[in-house]
Amino acid sequence: MRWNMPALRSLRLRLSIGLFVLYGACGIVLWQFTVPSGVWPLRLLGDIGSGVRAAAIACVLGATLLVTLDLIRRRVIKPLHKLSEYVQGQITAAASDDPPSILCGRKDEIGILTKEIRRMLATLREQNEKLLAQTLNDPLTGLGNRRLLDQRLETALPMSRRSMAPVSALMIDVDHFKAYNDYYGHPAGDDCLLEIANVLRDTFRRDTDILVRLGGKEFLVVLLDVDSIDALQMAEAMRGMLQFVAIPHEKSSTAGVVTVSIGVATVEPGTRIDVETLISCADSALYRCKSEGRNQSLHYLINRQTLAAQKSKPGAPPSFLDNDPPGAGGDTNDASEQLVLESLFDGSVGTVEQKRNIRMV
């Protein structure tokens, strides 16, 4: 290829410079010429050979393509990749709630899309939290339900056994609640259950206390790291507080106000037990409590021996309902009851009637 040197010199003289100008906001690539006034840039290429002209045009188009691709990569593909990583992180809970600031600060379609995705994810997260609360909580009282109980105890029971800590369960039943509903109406019955739930919250305030409504008129409280004496004291405190609220109950044969019967079961430290067995033991104590007059608390202790005795006679009533908690039994029973009474009533209102209501089986 022979170069037309005079034409090239003429082109160099008349063409000061050629450059690519990248206009970032619009993404436009321009080929800018600085030429003498009144000279059309394309006429300059007519002074050189066709081979040089084709090579020059190819270089211009190739450079334009490379710059355009780089622009698309930096302005479109890379931000979309970051947006995809943000969405994936929200799904796996591995990212923060806010997208990268480089995406939020954009004013183009990608910025608008980022803000819309963030709004949609926030709405979805809020709705999921509400659905989770509905699946774990009782809709009437706001206490936990059986699903929450299973979820919490799935880890709490093994941890308590490994740490050699006792676990107590209180099964609470409202006395003569059907008669209350029939006489006062179901709306009043719902209000009564709400009041009982509030008394439970006021009595059991630790973060580790598990308060559950099992359905109907039955409630369950699981107390971690609480022994038999403390569990019985807290049961009586709850029962006394409810009587102090004095919800009228004219159809009750037990008292003139709403009362509860409480079956308390305590698992000895180190004893392996599952949720079903724990509930069954507390329910058995409650059944005996109701059969002996209601409006009282009965307690029994669960250990390896009593569990083995229960398994040896499946379907039979638990024989360990006749056992005594540590330090209680025989002539020491009255002393234990008096200790509980003094703790609850400070010795001032510990009447004989109140003493009968605390039973350590």
Digit-coded pLDDT (tens) for 28-77: 444 444 444 445 455 555 555 677 767 778 888 888 888 888 888 877 77
Digit-coded pLDDT (tens) for 191-223: 999 999 999 999 999 999 999 999 889 999 999
Joined tokens for residue 127: 């709705």
**C-alpha distances in Å from residue 149, one per residue of 103, 212, 303, 304:** 43, 7, 22, 23
Joined tokens for residue 328: 């209680």
Burial of 339 (0-12, 13-18, 19+ CB in 10 A): middle
State how far Cα 22 lies from the chain centre: 51
CB 59 within 8 A of CB 30: no
Measured between alpha carbons, how far is 261 from 288 in angstroms, rounded to an integer? 10
Most confident of 188-202, 289-303, 342-356: 188-202
Digit-coded pLDDT (tens) for 150-202: 999 999 999 999 999 999 999 999 999 999 999 999 999 999 999 999 999 99
CB 223 within 8 A of CB 167: yes
Instruction: Tell me the domain boundaries of the chain.
Output: 5-125, 138-360
Whether residue 326 is predicted with pLDDT greater than 90 in this model: the reply is: no
138-360: which CATH topology?
Alpha-Beta Plaits (3.30.70)
Whether residue 17 is predicted with pLDDT greater than 60 in this model: the reply is: no
State the pLDDT at residue 167: 95
**Backbone phi, psi, residue 264, to 5°:** -110, 130
Please name the residue that has the structure tokens 């919250």.
201
Measured between alpha carbons, how far is 242 from 240 in angstroms, rounded to an integer? 5
Whether residue 92 is predicted with pLDDT greater than 80 in this model: the reply is: no
Number of neighbouring beta carbons within 10 Å of residue 4:
13
**C-alpha distances in Å from residue 254, one per residue of 59, 199, 258:** 101, 20, 9
State the pLDDT at residue 21: 40
Contacts with 64 (C-beta within 8 Å, 6 or more apart), sequence order: 20, 29, 31
Scanning 137-216, the segments in alpha helix (DSSP H) are 146-162, 177-184, 186-203
Within a 13 Å sphere around the CA of 266, how many CA atoms are in the beta-carbon half?
25
Measured between alpha carbons, how far is 183 from 191 in angstroms, rounded to an integer? 14
The answer to which of 46-50, 105-109, 248-252 has the lowest mean pLDDT is 46-50
